[in-house]
Amino acid sequence: MIKYQLLCDDEHEFEGWFRDSADFDAQSEDGLVECPVCGSPDVRKAVMAPAISRRSNARSKRLVEIERDVEKAVHRARDYVEKNFDYVGEQFPEEARKIHYGEAEERGIYGEASGKEVRELVKEGVEIAPLPDIRKAKDKAGKKKTPSPAAKKLN
């Protein structure tokens, strides 16, 4: 396995693991490699430096960049779900079960579920995924509040 630093045409940097260089080339040509931030399939290998110890300031700067990129990707995912899935609110567990058992039309839904309800759905084999809400307001100190994992979506 080989890890490549990758760049999209919007200069978003991310990494990907491939069997070898030819595997990256084949997947890229088939449109299977895309930017996790913007979804662009125009991805190329970035210049990579050898892995050497860096100053902690540079590392924390990179972590901030990664956090920002992840936040953008989560926004894209949430926007997609909100535009293309049906919001069922607190009826999510019941509606997810109906879809799972063929009692309701198969479609993408999202809504609210407690931790207990989520565990029960997973135990029943209902396919769900967390949908983080990172649009929460900031706290009094101006820091982002930690999002609640209550919103879920059905694949």
**What's the mean pLDDT in 131-150?**
52
Residue range 67-125, pLDDT digits in tens: 888 888 888 888 999 999 999 999 999 999 999 999 999 999 999 998 899 999 999 99
* The overall pTM is greater than 0.75: no
Q: Domain locations in the chain?
A: 2-45, 70-154
Q: What is the 3-state secondary structure (H, E, C) of the chain?
A: CEEEEEEECCCCEEEEEECCHHHHHHHHHCCCCCCCCCCCCCEEECCCCCCCCCCHHHHHHHHHHHHHHHHHHHHHHHHHHHHHCEEEECCHHHHHHHHHCCCCCCCCEEEECCHHHHHHHHHHCCCEEECCCCCCCECCCCCECCCCCCEEEEC
